[in-house]
Amino acid sequence: MAQSKICKALVAGTAVAGSLAFVAPSVPEAGVTGRAHSHGNFESAKANGATGPAVLAAAMGATAVGAAARRQTRAKTAKPRTISRVVDEFEDVCEQTGVTLSRYCIELANRGKIDEDLSSIFNSIREAAKVISKLVNTAPLQQAELLGLQGEINVQGEDQKKLDVITNDVFKNALRYTGKLGTLASEEEDEPVDGSVGGSEAIPVLSEEFADTGKYICVFDPLDGSSNVDAGIPVGTIFGVFEEPSPAECELPEDLSKGLSEDQQRCLAGTLQPGKSLVAAGYVLYSASTELVLTFGQGVVGFTLDTSIGEFVMTRPSIKIPSRGKIYSANTGNIGEWDQPMREYIEAIRSGKGESGSAYSLRYIGSMVGDIHRTLLYGGIFAYPADKKNQDGKLRLLYEGAPMSFIMEQAGGKAITGHSRVLDIPPVGVHQRVPVILGSADDVEECKKFFDKSDDPALKARCEKRLQGMAA
């Protein structure tokens, strides 16, 4: 009987505490926490001879009042909730795992920062990155199966490595399985690929509705720097996501696997947008650790693969590139073939005659993801400029230049082709190439000044044609 009375009193006390949270008669004085108030009421109740349950009820009620007051204060002083601030608001974070990529995407979806389709796509990117990381790490142990040339040449005229083909299939099938993509474009594919699961023999169509829900276009380079794999040098995956516009004006075949005519490719490329229309972009670096860096257009976040639990864990909550660095990254073996403004700029900074007055150091891996990852963290400038042989550079706009430029700008940096911004260039072809100069804002601005003062009309004309959506 006594136990029953105690239980009823505790229930009553909880009810009182709950009601007090809504009708809080007073707000604690500035500098006095709800905990202090609850302790005072607790002692006051004891002094007045109250029984145990009543004392507990008083304490709980005061605690609720304090909590309500703190919530009111936070609501008044809170800053706008950007994606970077969302990280600070996570509750119940596991001490053993921290914030995983899965949790991060769920939180952003719950807060309306991304939709569930985009969250599903990133779940697939996460899984594909794990598989590719495993393949890269075990390649030296399975040389016959994974290393060496495939014996085929891709649309770029480049010899395909075995891992190029394997990782392309891994990434493509992982994205197709989401059912959230309308179109895929990859460095290793001659034409854009149908993003629905119906286009893959390995994955059955689960339902017509599932196959036709695609609303995004994903562009990617599954294994950038693959020529370095045999030597154990860092490589990476680059990806970008656009919302898919209506391609109604393009008459495309039902089966895209049979290829597209030149006119159809040009039409489909016209439905793509310049890099400034990206809704998300990122890269995965396969090195001493596997790091995934991404942006949804509101800052840049980094995750590291914890192989013990098989999850990407947040290790860089907010990546900001320094406004100026002391490193330049470029293949200076071609410096004699570059446009004059680029040559003059590099010669100035490496001799200490640039705006900073300090001599810059050269660091060049030859793998875009590795070079840009270092630039993003330490500052400086990365360049793959145009030269006499490749007047449009060698990097592809859609799945290399645009995604990396988007990431760089979101981290506070800049990205140009010389005279113009990379993200302003509309694509005229799926595999279009562009010169790329990106990095710390002050460094890129300094480089641009050399181009702006150039009186080379042919150089300016090429830049203008790119901005107008014409082949340079």
pLDDT tens-place values along the chain, 472 residues long: 444 443 333 333 333 333 323 233 333 344 444 444 444 544 454 455 554 444 444 444 444 445 455 545 554 555 554 454 555 566 666 666 689 999 999 999 988 999 988 998 999 999 999 999 998 888 777 765 555 444 455 445 455 567 888 888 888 888 776 555 545 555 545 555 544 444 444 333 322 223 334 678 888 889 998 888 878 889 999 999 988 766 555 666 666 556 666 666 655 654 578 999 999 999 999 999 999 999 999 999 999 999 999 999 999 999 999 999 999 999 999 999 999 999 999 999 999 999 999 999 999 999 999 999 999 999 999 999 999 999 999 999 988 999 999 999 999 999 999 999 999 999 887 788 999 999 999 999 999 999 999 989 999 888 888 888 776 5
Q: Let me know: does 51 contact 91? Beta carbons within 8 Å.
A: no
- Token pair, residue 456, equals 């080379």
CATH number of 327-467: 3.40.190.80
Tokens 């001799």: give the residue.
351
The dihedral of CA 297, 302, 305, 310: what is its sign?
Answer: negative
How would you classify the pairing of strands 181-186 and 216-224? parallel
In the chain, where the domains are located: 2-77, 101-316, 327-467
Structure tokens at 269: 């490329």
Chain mean position to CA 454: 35
* CA pair distance 78, 344, nearest whole angstrom: 48
Q: Top-level CATH class of 101-316?
A: alpha beta
Contact at 8 Å (CB) between 329 and 362?
Answer: yes
As given in the structure block, the two tokens for residue 423 are 């993200």
Tell me if 422 sits within 8 A of 396, measured CB to CB: no
Is the whole-model pTM more than 0.85? no
Sign of CA dihedral 30, 31, 35, 40: negative
Q: Could you tell me which residues come within 8 angstroms of residue 313 by beta carbon, excluding any fewer than 6 positions away? A: 97, 98, 99, 100, 101, 303, 304, 305, 306
CA distance 386 to 366: 16
Confirm if 220 and 171 have CB atoms less than 8 A apart: yes
Question: Sign (positive/negative) of CA torsion 338, 339, 344, 345?
Answer: negative
Residue 22 parent element (H or E): helix 2-22
Spatial distance between the Cα atoms of 37 and 57, rounded to a whole number of angstroms: 13
Nearest alpha-carbon partner for 382 in 428, 429, 342, 340: 342
In this structure, how many other beta carbons lie within 10 angstroms of the beta carbon of residue 123?
18
CA of 359: how far to CAs of 74, 324, 352, 362, 380, in Å? 48, 13, 4, 10, 12
Q: How far apart are CA 181 and CA 183, in angstroms?
A: 6
Average pLDDT value over all residues in the chain: 75
The whole-angstrom separation of Cα 113 and Cα 86 is 10
Phi-psi region of 98 (alpha: psi -120 to 50; beta: other; left: phi over 0): left
Nearest Cα to Cα of residue 179 among 148, 200, 163, 152: 200
Please enumerate in sequence order all residues whose Cβ is within 8 A of that of 51, keeping only pairs 6 or more positions apart, or say none: 9
Burial (0-12, 13-18, 19+ Cβ within 10 Å), 134: middle
Angle at 173 between CA 144 and CA 162, to 5 degrees: 20
